[in-house]
Amino acid sequence: MSESEVIRISVRNLVEFILREGDIDNRIRGSMDKDIMQQGSRIHRKIQRQMGSNYRAEIPLKIQVPCEGFLLQVEGRADGIMEEQGRIIIDEIKGVLRELTHIEEPLNVHLAQAKCYAYIYAGQGNLKEIGVQMTYCHLETEEVKRFSYVYPFPELEDWFINLVRQYEKWARFQTEWRAVRQESIKPVEFPFDYREGQHDIAASVYRTIHRKKKLFIQAPTGVGKTMATVFPAVKAVGEGLGEKVFYLTAKTITRTVAEQAFSTLKEQGLKFKVITLTAKEKICFCEETVCNPDHCPYAKGHYDRVNDAVFNMLTHSDDMSRESLEAQAKKYNVCPFEMSLDVSTWADAVICDYNYVFDPNAHLKRFFSEGSKGEYLFLIDEAHNLVERGREMYSAVLYKEDVLEMKRLVKPDAPGLAKRLDECNRQLLALKRECENYQVLDNVSYIAVKLMNIMSGIEEYLEKVQEEEKREQILNFYFQLRNFLSIHDILDENYVIYTEFERDGRFKLKLFCVNPAVNLRTYMDQGNSTVFFSATLLPMHYYKQLLSEAKDYAIYAPSSFPRENCLILLGTDVSSKYTMRGDTMYQKFSSYILNMVEAKRGNYMVFFPSYQFMKDVYEDFQKEIEAREDIDCIIQFQYMGEESREIFLESFEEDRGCSLVGFCVMGGIFSEGIDLTKDRLIGAAVVGTGLPQVCNDREILKQYFDKRGMSGFDYAYLYPGMNKVLQSAGRVIRTEEDKGIIALLDERFIQRKYREIFPREWERYRTCRLENFRENIEKFWEEKK
């Protein structure tokens, strides 16, 4: 470890980490004062402009503190530096929504930030003393309250050195662990023989990271995408091209595959701390996830103990499994979820859901707060899911009925707040009267202003309200408003604002993020490089457009499986169109399924565009097989719990003397991320083209892209629908030994625009009709004997 090694930390992160204390309490304080939306930065700029010519704003400051074996660099930006009556004063500005009368002194961590800047500036200017001013500004009224202090330099120096010494052991752990990790990466090799296409993927990932670019990988199932992305990312960390790997996914099962990939590399002696973040609801020790000291013993005094719990875990073990995290949290009596987030700060790889990186309400602020940049490498698995998830994360909704309910709730003891809510309700009522089904609007800034007003009133109200249930309802509404306003702040040409009556009659105002690419890039740009990969990223231009940008790199990995092992049949005499549905068509689909099953005994899955359609065909199929004992049938139902899902999948693992047909829904829990290899699944029928149902959201998407000269139908319906088809069909061939049938049952599949989205390995498809369907399948199985 060289003397010159520099460990960097921001002033804000340093004070928030070392000086935190007390309870977890999400009832009000932490959630509101900690990270107030983007209005804060606007207020900063406004106050800074008002302060006159001797006020210098946003001054970068840093100091290097020599520690044994390394230098600790503490850095940040002072909001303002000014001179008054011959004394230099450091100004720290905080935007708040609390009434300023309730702020009797600055928060410890706020004042500590200002004191750090004061020490650095005074030290560099050889000042004997320096002033510190804490400026609190109410975000709505713009009223200001200030607190002033003067510190002799020696007092500040003692305070600052003590703060740094508390952090020094963490920084030392970081440098020592990094040296061990880097050394361990050098000899690690790819753990298997490369499959066809796998080496190209790994090389492309490494090159992309080296160039600090983004890469899209379309790679069929079974190529080994996980190891082909994890291995080069780990090697890149070893070459100093990144410091932390984020493996992001939407499904629990793909998280397990990622964990296994890191474990396999560790068998070669790799030292890499890997943590998987588990959702708060799942890892919570209490029956109900209520995060405050009155309800949860682990929340009480959590911050007094958590740093010791984390440090002990980091220095005594590389095991960061859920079991180890839970055991450590119990031992130190801290919240396992919050502790796992703290541990992730020091981990080399974090396996987690997309929202921990991209969701403005749930992202890990320690890594992705405004303006911070880290040496992060993002590996995004099943990236096709990120389009809809992105739209969800960056959209916001406000219901008129909720505003009215809040008014009713607060009226008895907060008439002023009820009046503000009533004014907002009237604004929404006016929009409701203008709206027949849905209506696109140009802007709703006048409503946003009113909501700011309401939020401020709720802050005040929550200081007084005692009744727990009422507090809970109001707080939930507060968070809805906060989300609505923070999304309103980032509205741009990628949004459509509209009002709509929902089926149950509720009236909503929606800020709809049509194209999430810009918002997603905001977070990706805080890292070095991003790799998107999936078995279904077709057509590539669609995913580039909605997840990043057209100029990103892209590769198409060939399948390593023999193409002759899969028979793809297009049934051209059936249709799932609404106008064609009815008993005759259901019987025809039912006959197709029966023919497929009768051609060879085995396990099959049939995927449908909706639960109702599935039910209609299922009922007909049941009549067909009523008296037979050689075919078993199971059906997916809505809202299946974890146990029901497992039972459903275990049916395919059982040895049975007859055929099994699983009826499933496209885009549902069984259409992606499940691995039934060899003879556990020998055929899948996909009924229909998967097109989403026509609804206002989809029509708005269609119009949006049509206006921009892109095919609105393709973006709103065709591409999302075909993704579901590809996902469902992808269940069949999972390994090189697998053999099976994929039956695409809808006349529309023969149209060029659908066939253009077929993956390359489907180029040998055949068309058929019901009368020759079975003959085709029997011939295929005969050849495979």
Q: Tens digit of pLDDT for each residue in 712-764?
A: 999 999 999 999 999 999 888 787 888 999 999 999 999 999 999 999 989 99
User: Domains (ranges, CATH) in the chain?
Assistant: 6-173 (3.90.320.10), 186-272+348-384+532-560 (3.40.50.300), 275-346 (no CATH), 396-513 (1.10.275.40), 563-783 (3.40.50.300)
Instruction: Indicate the pLDDT class of residue 37, thresholds 50, 70 and 90.
Output: very low
Region 384-395: mean pLDDT is 96
3-state secondary structure of 380: strand
Q: Which residues contact 702 (CB under 8 A, 6 or more apart)?
A: 712, 713, 715, 716, 717
Region 461-466: mean pLDDT is 82
Residue 169 scores a pLDDT above 90? yes
3-state secondary structure of 731: coil
Residue 784 scores a pLDDT above 60? yes
Give the residue from 8, 6, 18, 7 showing the smallest Cα distance to 113: 18
The beta-strand segments (E) located in 2-86 are 6-10, 56-67, 70-84
Span of 243-252, 255-264, 365-374, 505-514 with lowest mean pLDDT: 365-374
Instruction: Indicate the pLDDT class of residue 35, thresholds 50, 70 and 90.
Output: very low
Amino acid at 165: R
Instruction: Indicate the pLDDT class of residue 495, thresholds 50, 70 and 90.
Output: very high
Percent of the chain with pLDDT over 90: 75
Instruction: Give CA–CA dist 576/586, Å, rounded.
Output: 9
Span of 306-310, 412-416, 427-431 with lowest mean pLDDT: 412-416
Q: Which residues contact 276 (CB under 8 A, 6 or more apart)?
A: 255, 258, 259, 320, 321, 322, 350, 351, 352
pLDDT at 200: 94
The beta-strand segments (E) located in 195-347 are 214-218, 244-249, 274-276
pLDDT at 33: 44
Q: Which residues contact 203 (CB under 8 A, 6 or more apart)?
A: 232
pLDDT at 771: 96
Amino acid at 66: P
Span of 225-229, 396-400, 550-554, 677-681 with lowest mean pLDDT: 677-681
Region 300-320: mean pLDDT is 95
Higher pLDDT, 221 or 572: 572
Q: Model confidence over 653-680: pLDDT tens digits?
A: 998 889 999 999 998 888 876 778 778 9
- Cα-Cα-Cα-Cα torsion 263, 268, 270, 276, nearest 10 degrees, comes to 0
Helix axes 225-238, 153-185, angle to 10 degrees: 130
Give the residue from 625, 605, 617, 619 showing the smallest Cα distance to 581: 617
pLDDT at 228: 97
Q: Which residues contact 318 (CB under 8 A, 6 or more apart)?
A: 271, 272, 273
Instruction: Indicate the pLDDT class of residue 370, thresholds 50, 70 and 90.
Output: low
Helix axes 153-185, 11-18, angle to 10 degrees: 90
Cis peptide before 152 (omega within 30 of 0): no
Mean pLDDT, rounded, of the chain: 92
Higher pLDDT, 394 or 47: 394
CB of 543 closer than 8 Å to CB of 537: yes
pLDDT at 227: 97
pLDDT at 171: 93
Instruction: Give CA–CA dist 253/258, Å, rounded.
Output: 9
Instruction: Give CA–CA dist 592/621, Å, rounded.
Output: 10
Residue 643 scores a pLDDT above 50? yes
- Tally Cβ neighbours within 10 Å of residue 578: 9
CB of 120 closer than 8 Å to CB of 26: no
Instruction: Give CA–CA dist 314/309, Å, rounded.
Output: 9
Instruction: Give CA–CA dist 5/331, Å, rounded.
Output: 35
pLDDT at 714: 97
Q: How far is CA 137 from the centre of its chain?
A: 32
Percent of the chain with pLDDT over 70: 97
pLDDT at 369: 65
Residue 36 scores a pLDDT above 70? no
pLDDT at 562: 87
Place of tokens 């040998």: 764
Residue 168 scores a pLDDT above 70? yes
Q: Which helix (H) or strand (E) holds 149?
A: strand 144-152
Q: Which residues contact 350 (CB under 8 A, 6 or more apart)?
A: 244, 245, 246, 247, 274, 275, 276, 277, 344, 356
Q: Tell me the two tokens of residue 275.
A: 């943590």
Instruction: Indicate the pLDDT class of residue 30, thresholds 50, 70 and 90.
Output: very low
Biggest CA pair distance of the chain:
99
Helix axes 517-524, 540-547, angle to 10 degrees: 70
pLDDT at 371: 55
Cα atoms in the 13 Å half-sphere on the side-chain side of 190:
19
Residue 32 scores a pLDDT above 50? no
Give the residue from 64, 59, 89 showing the smallest Cα distance to 74: 64
Region 593-606: mean pLDDT is 96
How far lies 670's CA from each of 280, 649, 726, in Å? 25, 8, 13
Residue 543 scores a pLDDT above 80? yes
Give the residue from 544, 557, 553, 558 showing the smallest Cα distance to 209: 553
- Tally Cβ neighbours within 10 Å of residue 548: 21
Region 85-92: mean pLDDT is 92
Region 525-545: mean pLDDT is 95
Amino acid at 621: F
The beta-strand segments (E) located in 502-608 are 507-513, 529-534, 553-556, 566-571, 603-608
Q: Tell me the two tokens of residue 738.
A: 């697998």
Classify residue 85 as exposed, middle or buried by CB count within 10 Å of its CB (0-12, 13-18, 19+).
exposed
CB of 721 closer than 8 Å to CB of 691: yes
